[in-house]
Amino acid sequence: MELFRLALSIFAAVFIGWNILYLISFRKIKLSFLERLFISYGSGFGFISLEMFLFHFFSIKFSLIRIIAPWTLLFITNLIIYLKREGPYGRDPYDMKDRGNILLNSFLAAGIIFEILYAFFRALIKPIEAYDAIATYAIRSKIFYMENSIPHDFFYNLSLLFPHPDYPLNIPLSETFVYLFLGNLNDQIAKVIFPLYFLATLGILYFGVRRFSGRTGALLFTFILASVPQFNHFATNAYHDIPLSYYCFAGALFLLYWFKETESLGCLYISAVMTAMAGWTKNEGFVYCAANILLLLIFLFINRRGIKKKDILNGLLYICVILLILTPWLWVKFTANLVNSDVGSTTLSELNIIKQSYKAWPILYEFQRQIFGPKKWNIIWIAAFIAMAVYRKKIFADGQKYITISLILTVSGYIFAYLIGQDEIRHMVGTTWSRMMMHFLPLTVYWLAYLIKDEFAERKG
Amino acid sequence: MLLYKSLHMKNKIFKLVFTVWVIIWIFLLIREMFAKGNIREYNALLHRSLDGKRAYVTGDRLYEFLSFCNAELPEGAKYMFFGLEEDSHDKRRATYYLYPHLEAEEADFLLMFNEPILSRTGYEIISKLDDTRYILKDLKRRGR
């Protein structure tokens, strides 16, 4: 019975996510059914948690009916749109007949399925217990569930008793949503949301690579990402890094899709929603909000001759959607003066990068240690550096350049955060950088796949 | 001919890289499961109830004490915890499991874990799990 309730909570989140995206984009863009499901999953939980957060402003108690009822209006609207639609909406932008090397494909698919099942097994074998998972996130979801709301003085009193009061509440509130469905505080099976984010990230990567490569290429790069031990491990320990990776990756990818086809507005809206959700999941998500907005401005500047007025307006709309989604959280954060314990209340003098430049060497040292040190065994970074050297002429070529710029902006954003941080720099970089790198790992794998896509075409030829 | 040779070479490199990747993948999986002792942990966890699993990951002794405190403390009680290092993983777990009881400087109850019984002026033992795990109550706050 409990598993049925759990499945129902996931179904509810996906269904709500599906309806939101159907209204804003699904009718107009080409996506496969599974890809739609993977996107709906994250947006569903994101919007439900946002709704639960908005309840706080109106002192509304949580109940499943109160949470789900408003979405029925959206469902009815979509039903009317669906029945009145003219012609079918777009599907599958890939050549689904391409079967590739069946033996290799079977091996890769088996490897991916194994990694996914193993992630689910490891997540569900024990309750939430990892340090940050319990100290920062699970304690908050427990409070919200037991109080049946976000207590009215939560941000001014209660939250300050636990570490990182400034961390966004997407995942704690998503956990609370699952608890409400379960009817109890089973923090073992509620962990299912984390491997599901892992699965959805792999799915989005697969369909992303599938747009320019055959089945073998897409399976190969999905396998590469799935087989990174640290990435798989973090899908099981209830940390928020994999959900953040998911939102960052989807946000960047759909923005890149829009760059290719500016008529495909749905992609821009999905990117805006996912990027904002990154900021609503972890503070690091704000780096991606800034990076994607900058990337959009760079795109508009580079293509200024061919750009139409409506593209600029769409760009402005993109920024507005991100701000709109994040405003309630930013409002609470500033009014309650929730300060990050690592970055602190940054003063103007700390923003003076030249003054902080002494931190550059320790940062670079830690970076190379995390990349080349055997401890993490994440050889994607080494592979990426080799590929960068071999294909150096291509990294700023058409199409590829925006993915490269996106990665550069992200890394620069993190370096900036490290520079203005108040914590001891070696400790801060040493304890966080490998996790930060996971946030843009899916995009790096996609970048790698895009970089060598011609090799697959040549081999096929 | 040149194009053919270059393709042949690239094919070989791709095969080599992929083979190395798969070997490392299998090695890491085996290391993760066996060398790090995860298989033993999975085996121990597999047949336990949710409470049993919580006890396993928290440590049986600590979890037993936390369950004891939850049963003994009155609703809304504020406590101070002794016997666990501040900011340690165990302390965080204790905070999580003890909620809705909250830790506070001005607490009615002192939760003593792995602390020998010594007489403390102004406090009395109100409940005892064993000689090193017990709850003290502040006598000045008796009426509250």
For residues B38 and B65, state if they share a domain: no
pLDDT at A17: 96
Q: Give the gyration radius of chain A's Cα atoms.
A: 22
For residues B86 and B118, state if they share a domain: yes
Q: Which amino acid does the sequence have at A81?
A: I
Q: Per the CB < 8 Å rule, is B57 touching A129?
A: yes
Q: How far apart are CA A450 and CA A208, in angstroms?
A: 10
Q: Per the CB < 8 Å rule, is B24 touching A125?
A: no
What is the maximum alpha-carbon separation in chain B? 96
Q: How far apart are CA A352 and CA B42, in angstroms?
A: 50
Residue A152, SS3? Answer: coil
Chains A and B form CB pairs within 8 A to the count of 62
For residues B42 and B65, state if they share a domain: no
Percent of chain A whose pLDDT exceeds 70: 91
Which of B66, B87, B99 should one mutate to test binding to chain A, selecting the residue with the greatest count of A CBs within 10 A? B99
Instruction: Answer whether residue B33 is part of any domain.
Output: yes
- Which has more pLDDT, A56 or B9? A56
Nearest by CB to B7, which of A131, A220, A458?
Answer: A458
For residues B81 and B113, state if they share a domain: yes
Q: How far is B46 from chain A (nearest CA, A)?
A: 7
pLDDT band at B144 (very low <50, low <70, confident <90, very high): very low
pLDDT at A350: 61
Q: How far is B43 from chain A (nearest CA, A)?
A: 10
**Residues in Cβ contact with B118 at an 8 Å cutoff, skipping those fewer than 6 apart:** none
For residues B133 and B67, state if they share a domain: yes
Residues spanned by the domain of B76: 60-141
For residues B24 and B80, state if they share a domain: no
pLDDT band at A9 (very low <50, low <70, confident <90, very high): very high
For residues B70 and B36, state if they share a domain: no
With a CB-CB cutoff of 8 Å, which residues 159-178 of chain A face chain B?
A: 161-162
Q: Per the CB < 8 Å rule, is A143 touching B99?
A: yes
Instruction: Answer whether residue B100 is part of any domain.
Output: yes
Q: What is the pLDDT of residues A424-433, one digit of tens each?
A: 888 888 888 8
Q: What is the pLDDT of residues A221-233, one digit of tens each?
A: 999 999 998 899 9
Q: What is the pLDDT of residues A121-137, one digit of tens each?
A: 999 999 999 999 999 99
Tell me the mean pLDDT in the region A412-437: 85
Residue with token string 């899709």 = A257
Closest CA to A42 of A212, A235, A171, A166: A171
For residues B72 and B122, state if they share a domain: yes
Instruction: Answer whether residue B68 is part of any domain.
Output: yes
Closest CA to A139 of A171, A98, A100, A109: A171
Instruction: Answer whether residue B51 is part of any domain.
Output: no
Instruction: Answer whether residue B54 is part of any domain.
Output: no
pLDDT at B140: 73
Question: Residue A429's CB: how many other CB atoms inside 10 A?
Answer: 25
Assess B9–A contact: CB distance below 8 Å, yes or no.
no
Instruction: Answer whether residue B55 is part of any domain.
Output: no
Q: What is the pLDDT of residues A289-311, one digit of tens each?
A: 999 999 999 999 998 888 888 88
pLDDT at A97: 60
pLDDT at A345: 57
For residues B25 and B73, state if they share a domain: no
- Which has more pLDDT, B121 or B42? B42
Instruction: Answer whether residue B137 is part of any domain.
Output: yes
Assess B76–A contact: CB distance below 8 Å, yes or no.
no
Give this prediction's pTM. 0.93
Nearest by CB to B24, which of A111, A131, A379?
Answer: A379
pLDDT at A170: 96
Instruction: Answer whether residue B108 is part of any domain.
Output: yes
**Over 60: is that where the pLDDT of A456 sits?**
yes
Q: Per the CB < 8 Å rule, is A229 touching B32?
A: yes
With a CB-CB cutoff of 8 Å, which residues 381-420 of chain A face chain B?
A: 383
For residues B24 and B69, state if they share a domain: no
Q: Which residues of A touch B95 (CB under 8 A)?
A: 135, 139, 162
pLDDT at A239: 94
Q: What is the pLDDT of residues B13-42, one digit of tens each?
A: 778 888 888 998 898 888 888 877 889 899
Q: How far apart are CA A234 and CA A115, in angstroms?
A: 12
For residues B76 and B111, state if they share a domain: yes
Q: Per the CB < 8 Å rule, is B103 touching A220?
A: no
Structurally, chain B folds into a number of domains equal to 2
For residues B73 and B125, state if they share a domain: yes
Assess A227–B contact: CB distance below 8 Å, yes or no.
yes
